[in-house]
Amino acid sequence: MDVTKKKVLNGYHVVFLVQNIMIGMALLSLNNTLSPVGYSQWWFPILFGIIANITLIPMVWIALQYKDDDLFDIHEKLFGKWIGKLLNSLLIIYAIVLFAAVINTYLDLVQISALQDRTRIGHLILIILLAVFIVKGGIKSIARFCILTFFLTGWLIYFLRWGIAQGEISHLLPLFNFTASEFLDATKKGYTSMVGYEILMVFFPYIIHPKKAFKHASLGIWLTVFFYLCTAIVGVMYFSEWQLKHLFYPVLKLFQAVDLSFVERIDTLGITIWVFLILTTAGGYLWMAKKGIDSVRNKNSQYHIYGMAVFAFIVLNLPVSKVFQTTLYENVFYVSYGVILWPIILCFIHFLRKKKIEVIK
């Protein structure tokens, strides 16, 4: 095993790594994303959780066959050096674009809601520097930050009680009031909220008890589903179908329903605290990109973090239209579906390779 891949992640680390990297910005716009199915959307997080748990099986299985190797190493072992490095290079681009997409979406939200007349360049530099600082400490540093983030942000769910009090429970029925095309549209768009658990295949070699990784990762997935389910239910109860379709960040409107004498704008507080979730997701993908560069160059270097951060900064400031940026960032999340399903192909190739070796023997 690579000496740099020390077993440092316990079960709690795995649970909160998976949970925090998955959430990112997705929770804020979940009700809007699932709006094609109207009020019937509230149970979709459960469906997504089942799909995520099923697709987690091949990820963990192939990782257990190469438990001292991450996804980048597995590529080189199954496909050879050059094809493996090509695949790894594509994964690096994927990770960096996702890193940029998460930060860009958050900064757009901040600019729209709180800083309409200010440039966002300062906030962009600050978030990237914070992400670099977290990632420099390695995967255990990211895991610890994820645990901290859970306790700093998880309590925000309490504010949903105002939405429940003012909502209409009858909106929760019927359960299947949608067409097949609406179902597929909501599933295609909505499952992007589950993206993030595929990074398990990169940090798998660092897990102290790899045989328990499936259980711990599943707990992380269902913890995410719990937050999504609560938000979806309250959103359906509180909003009209028109609002679900046209409010891009319904959760912020739910925060505005909160009535506290000592805080004037809960939505601004929520946006401020949300930066922790952005840093966990962005940090996870920046670390993934760094490990990819380490693999391609056969050299473990902290300078790779800086290089990836600078590259992401350039991507975020390219002189391209907003339409192009939006299209790029939306499509990279759809590419995630391919990355999530990719381990199935790796399992198949592993079987063929193993069978070929047995025939030769």
**What's the pLDDT at 359?**
59
Distance CA 18, CA 41 (A): 23
Distance CA 311, CA 352 (A): 38
Which tokens is 228 given?
């999504």
Domains of the chain, each with CATH number or no CATH: 11-360 (1.20.1740.10)
Indicate if the pLDDT at residue 100 is higher than 60. yes
Closest listed residue to residue 347, CA positions, set 112, 17, 60, 104 = 60
Q: Which residue carries 């530099």 as its tokens?
A: 125
Contact 260, 266 (CB under 8 A): yes
User: Which pLDDT band, with edges at 50, 70 and 90, does 357 fall under?
Assistant: low
Q: How many other C-beta atoms lie within 10 A of the C-beta of residue 71?
A: 29
Distance CA 215, CA 203 (A): 15
What is the chain's mean pLDDT, rounded? 90
What angle, 0 to 180 degrees and rounded to 10, lies between the N-to-C axes of helices 213-238 and 44-65? Answer: 160
Least confident of 17-26, 109-118, 150-159, 168-177: 109-118
Instruction: Return the bridge partners of 260, or none.
Output: 263
Indicate if the pLDDT at residue 2 is higher than 60. no
Report the pLDDT averaged over residues 183-190: 93
**What's the pLDDT at 76?**
93
Distance CA 178, CA 36 (A): 8
- H-type helices in the chain, by residue range? 11-23, 30-33, 44-65, 71-79, 81-113, 121-136, 139-153, 160-166, 180-190, 200-203, 213-238, 241-246, 250-256, 266-273, 275-297, 303-316, 322-360
Contact 176, 30 (CB under 8 A): no
**What's the pLDDT at 280?**
95
Contact 178, 43 (CB under 8 A): no
Report the pLDDT averaged over residues 307-331: 86
**What's the pLDDT at 174?**
86
Q: How many other C-beta atoms lie within 10 A of the C-beta of residue 5?
A: 18
Q: Which residue carries 């046209």 as its tokens?
A: 246
Indicate if the pLDDT at residue 182 is higher than 90. yes
Structure-model confidence comparison of residues 173 and 1, the more confident one: 173
Q: Could you report the per-residue pLDDT of 106-157, keeping only the tens digit for each?
A: 998 888 877 776 778 888 999 999 999 999 999 999 999 999 999 999 998 9
User: Which pLDDT band, with edges at 50, 70 and 90, does 18 fall under?
Assistant: very high
Q: Could you report the per-residue pLDDT of 242-275, keeping only the tens digit for each?
A: 999 998 888 888 888 887 766 777 778 888 899 9
Length of the chain: 361
Task: Look at residue 55 and give its three-state secondary structure.
Answer: helix
Q: Which residues contact 223 (CB under 8 A, 6 or more apart)?
A: 15, 19
